[in-house]
Amino acid sequence: MFDITFCKCTNFDACKCQKDKKIPLAERLFINDQILERKMVIGKVDVIATERRKKEKRKQMEDKRIKRKMVKTDADAAHAQSMGAQHYVFVLVYRYGCNYLEISIIKLFRFPYLSNGM
């Protein structure tokens, strides 16, 4: 078997490798066995662990998207304040399936039907 791990540390507690290069805690026992005794074998795909990783990755991507949107929203809010608050309306939108509120700024002159009702 050839070595495909990035982390070559023998003492995982004192490992100073980058986070993405470290061996996950659940796989350390198997890697140690493969280096020394080679008694363990690889089984079928762990569906639960795979789904957990997919869910974590989706959450990370959603968090990045929200952060980018919040930075943009903060810039839009600062612009709205400089232009005069009467031209903008702040809208809170609850996203189903997620645990966050999204803040959007709508320019009233782009949506004339909103400005007529106010």
pLDDT digits over 18-39, tens only? 888 888 877 888 888 877 887 8
Residue type, 65: R
Question: Would you list the domain boundaries of the chain?
Answer: 1-40, 42-100
* Residue whose structure tokens are 């232009």: 83
d(CA 68, CA 76): 12
pLDDT 10s digits, 41-92: 778 888 888 899 899 999 999 888 887 777 666 666 666 566 554 444 444 4
Cα 107 to Cα 88: distance, rounded to the nearest angstrom: 5
pTM: 0.37
Look at the block and give the residue holding tokens 């363990």. 40
